[in-house]
Amino acid sequence: MQEALVHLVHRDAKLAQVLAAVTLPDPEPTGDLYYDLLDSIVSQQLSTKAAAVIFQRFLTLFPGEYPHPQQLLALDIETLRSVGLSRSKAHYMQNVAEFWLKEKLENKNWDEYDDDALVDYLSQIKGVGRWTVEMILIFTLQRPDVFPVDDLGVQQGMMLVYGLEKDRNLRKRMIEIAENWRPYRTTASRAMWRWKNQQKNSN
């Protein structure tokens, strides 16, 4: 990560101030793309805290608290809803399990896919969109140059740091700014999350 920090500090003065003020802990990846994909679906449009509670309840439905695809598909939707999942998310999670079995992905070598190819591949699953796969790229596969431009936390962080307005040009301006961060946009995005959370907690 040190190489990324040095690069970013030299390329973006405002980001350098953020990096001096936040701590970026080393990621602790599970290495389990299937598990993390389910977790990411639960996290869609929820706070981190609420999503963590629901996902933990979801895990208690399974022996050993691991949602093996066959076991997940064997549960009815109402059982899944009983732990706090919406009907649509319950279906999406079963879609993941079905895709996993159909494509025989248990021992898949994900290094064979570049970032865009993996987004295209996993987005075939109904309920899995670009943001969900970007979270997998960042946290599970630890790819160094991912920029989740549609992530609310990244947007809020960049609005604070760069004085951006939430208007129709926001996405375009974010992409322009993030060009300076290549090839370490993941680290910069994580810094935006941390900065946004620090500002929220200090107010």
* 80/78 Cα distance (integer angstroms): 5
Known catalytic membership, residue 36: no
The gap from C-alpha 146 to its chain's centroid, in whole angstroms, comes to 10
DSSP 110: G
State residue 110's pLDDT score: 96
Q: Is there a single domain that holds both residue 162 and residue 177?
A: yes
d(CA 39, CA 61): 14
Which residue in the list 12, 39, 145, 151 is annotated as catalytic?
151
CA distance 188 to 148: 11
Same domain, 10 and 81: no
Question: Do 135 and 154 reside in the same domain of the chain?
Answer: no
Kindly report the pTM of this predicted structure.
0.91
Residue type at 67?
Answer: P
Q: Which domain holds residue 70?
A: 33-140
The answer on 115 and 76 residing in a single domain is yes
Token pair belonging to 64: 């050993």
Cα 189 to its chain centre, rounded Å, is 11
* Residues 136 and 78 occupy one common structural domain: yes
Residue 40 belongs to domain with CATH number: 1.10.340.30
Q: How many CA atoms does the CB half-sphere of 44 hold within 13 Å? A: 22
Same domain, yes or no, for 37 and 22? no
In order along its 203 residues, the chain shows pLDDT tens digits of 789 999 999 999 999 999 999 999 888 888 899 999 999 999 988 888 999 999 999 999 999 999 999 999 999 999 999 999 999 999 999 999 999 999 999 989 999 999 999 999 999 999 999 999 999 999 999 999 999 999 999 999 999 999 999 999 999 999 999 999 999 999 999 999 999 988 877 66
- DSSP-H helix ranges across the chain: 2-11, 13-21, 33-43, 48-59, 69-74, 77-81, 87-102, 115-122, 130-135, 152-162, 170-178, 185-202
> 107 and 184 in one domain?
no
Domain boundary among 110, 140, 170: 140
Domain at 7, CATH number = 1.10.1670.40
Residue where a domain terminates, one of 111, 140, 169? 140
Q: What are phi and psi of 91, to 5 degrees?
A: -65, -40
On whether both 95 and 178 belong to a single domain, the answer is no
92 and 117 in a common domain: yes
Identify the pLDDT of residue 203.
62
| Local structure of residue 32 (DSSP, 8 states) | -
Give me the number of domains the chain comprises. Answer: 2
